[in-house]
Amino acid sequence: MSYLTITGSARPLLTALLLTGLVACSGGNDSAPAASSEEPAATAAPAAPAATAMNLDELRDKASEALRENRMYAPAGDNAIEYYLALREKTPDDTYVASALTDLLPYTLTAAELNISREDFEEANRLVALIEQVNAQAPALPRLKQAVTDGQSLVARRSDAENQRAKREAEQKSAQQAEQQRLAQQQAADAAAARQVAALQQASRDAAAREQAEQQAVARREAEQRAAADAARQAAARQTAAATPAAPALRAVSTPAPRYPAEALRSGTPGEVLMEITIGTDGSVTSARVLRAQPARIFDREAMNAVRRWKYEPIAAPTTIRRTLAFNPQSN
């Protein structure tokens, strides 16, 4: 089995590969999309098996292949830097692995900054996490983390401002429509009053009697129309209520608790993870994702592994629920 080995004379080859990969990932244009795991289905690389399950030769082959194909830091789970991190876990004293990670770090930093500038904070956070795994003392880490936080705050403030402006415009438009309607009603009322005065002045007793009869007829028709409209609304409401499907009842068959991470258990770290789970008609969990984790990235994996093993009784239609998984070291 062959793999890429970096010696003193081979370092220029890795540098050339990394430079080529950076150009390929950035496209040579600031407006090009950043490297991401969410590539179109026609061009995305096949999903890699879990790096921790590979042996050293497989990891080296995967790392070399990723470099050749310019997958330095993306897509997630199938890129050179993640394979080298897995190699470092297995062979912490390997100077080749340390050198490769050191060479890959600047390009990952550049990609993180590019995604921050594009406001792709999900990808930026993934890259920042990779940088922190390579070197938790990297000088750029605090700046990158603060840039992500500031960027997200700016986007949130901008969204709030746009919502407030849209709300004000809607309120102004509604007020204008209400004023126009009030004026039209006033004009109609004035015209009706003028007609009524003229009719009273000119009409005879018989005319007045006929007018009274007509007014009563109008009142009856309006009452009938209102009653018909009310009946139609009630019927529509009943039809809507009858057509609304009831949420399927969920009955758990097996919901094993998540495994407590060993490091968190040793340090006595508590936490919780809010999960969104979609359950298929056969009662199995078809998809799950983390909505919120406190603290971040400590319990996410074990929470995900646990809920994917949950089983419910079959239901008529797929349904999505939310569950919070708590981790308490005192109960373990």
Backbone angles phi, psi at 78, to 5 degrees: -145, 60
How confident is residue 197, by pLDDT bands cut at 50, 70 and 90? confident
Whether 41 shows a pLDDT value over 80: the answer reads no
CA dist., res. 199 & res. 215, Å (int)? 13
Q: Which of 39-53, 108-122, 164-178, 227-241 has the highest mean pLDDT?
A: 108-122
For residue 202, what are its two tokens? 């000119």
DSSP state of 284: B
Phi-psi region of 70 (alpha: psi -120 to 50; beta: other; left: phi over 0): left
For residue 19, what are its two tokens? 């430079």
CA dist., res. 63 & res. 215, Å (int)? 90
Whether 158 shows a pLDDT value over 80: the answer reads yes
What ranges in the chain are assigned the alpha helix state H?
A: 11-26, 56-68, 80-90, 95-117, 121-134, 140-202, 205-243, 262-267, 300-307
* Coil/strand/helix, residue 277: strand
From residue 53, alpha-carbon distances to 31, 58, 173, 303 in Å are: 37, 10, 62, 20
More confident residue, 103 or 21: 103
Whether 194 shows a pLDDT value over 80: the answer reads no
State which amino acid sits at residue 111. A
From residue 18, alpha-carbon distances to 71, 80, 85, 148 in Å are: 9, 10, 17, 25
pLDDT at 190: 86
CA dist., res. 78 & res. 152, Å (int)? 27
Which of 36-45, 53-62, 66-75, 174-183 is predicted least confidently? 36-45
pLDDT at 262: 93
Instruction: Please say whether the beta carbons of 242 and 235 come within 8 A.
Output: no
How confident is residue 246, by pLDDT bands cut at 50, 70 and 90? low
Instruction: Please say whether the beta carbons of 83 and 62 come within 8 A.
Output: yes
pLDDT at 211: 92
pLDDT at 248: 65
In Å, the largest CA–CA distance within the chain is 119
- Mean pLDDT, range 177-204, rounded to an integer: 86
